[in-house]
Amino acid sequence: MSASAKMKRKTTTTIRAMKGGEKVVCLTAYTTPMARMLDAHCDLLLVGDSLGMVLYGMETTVSVTMDMMIAHGKAVMRGAEAACVIVDMPFGSYQESKEQAFRNAVRIMQETGCDGVKLEGGAEMAETIAFLTSRGVPVFGHVGLMPQMVNTAGGFRALGHTDAEAEKISRDAQAVAEAGAFAIVIEGTVEPVARAITASIPAPTVGIGASAACDGQVLVCDDMLGLFDAFKPRFVKRYADLAPQVRQAAEEYAREVRAGQFPTQEHTFAPRKS
């Protein structure tokens, strides 16, 4: 039996059981090679709709489609052996009704083989989340700053500075947890609010621009690696700065090609000897 065959994949139940214990390590992944590189180090790989901005140059995630999410979900599943894999439901694929959400969630899971789906929304989505979870669809919740709502939220900004905002995010997290989400992303939320939410709900919280007190953390892998340099959010720590290395490699390649220095004999094929 191969090593990969012996490996036991983490599940949404595994992630839920990490509440209050070892921190949940989560990164986004959009391709098979990246999933293979991240898999051994992550508990959870998120095929985020952030791929619209990171890979496709979109200004927001709103234009991301079901077909895009499924294609990238399949790619990540080909590269993931140990991590739990969750695929984002794109804007417009679940807000109309709980029945629409169920149909699209099932399509994502059936066509990709992923472990569950993520959707954005608080109390207004609780009924939908309960509908999905009661029918066998694990749901990763998402409260606080919700990128799919950027057009009505006034842009990308931290939330929870006012009592009204803090209370709303807290109510949203409680509603999503009670609806059965196995874990909840808290994004772009001031630290004391994220900390208090984490202490008050039974589901693990996964922070991004939130608090170290969250039960886990998630970052966009291209942000963390310094590959997506269109902008750098305050909450991102770059563990590598690969964009300059890519540019330097491309510059050196171009110079050698133009100078006739590449390819050399070692990079070409000699005729077979008869």
Which amino acids are annotated as binding site for Mg(2+), given as ranges? 49, 88, 120
Tokens coding 166: 């803090």
Annotated binding site: 49-50, 88, 118, 120
Are the C-beta atoms of residues 84 and 122 closer than 8 Å to each other? no
Q: Given the structure tokens 């340099």, which residue do they identify? A: 229
Are the C-beta atoms of residues 43 and 26 closer than 8 Å to each other? yes
Cα-flanking dihedrals φ and ψ of residue 140, to 5°? -95, 115
Rounded to an integer, what is the distance from CA 118 to the centroid of its chain? 9
Q: Which of 187, 191, 251, 266 is catalytic?
A: 187
E runs forming strands in 97-255: 116-118, 139-144, 183-187, 205-208, 216-219
19: left (phi over 0), alpha (psi -120 to 50) or beta: beta
Annotated binding site for 3-methyl-2-oxobutanoate: 49-50, 88, 118
Catalytic, 251? Answer no
Tokens coding 35: 């999933």
Catalytic residues: 187
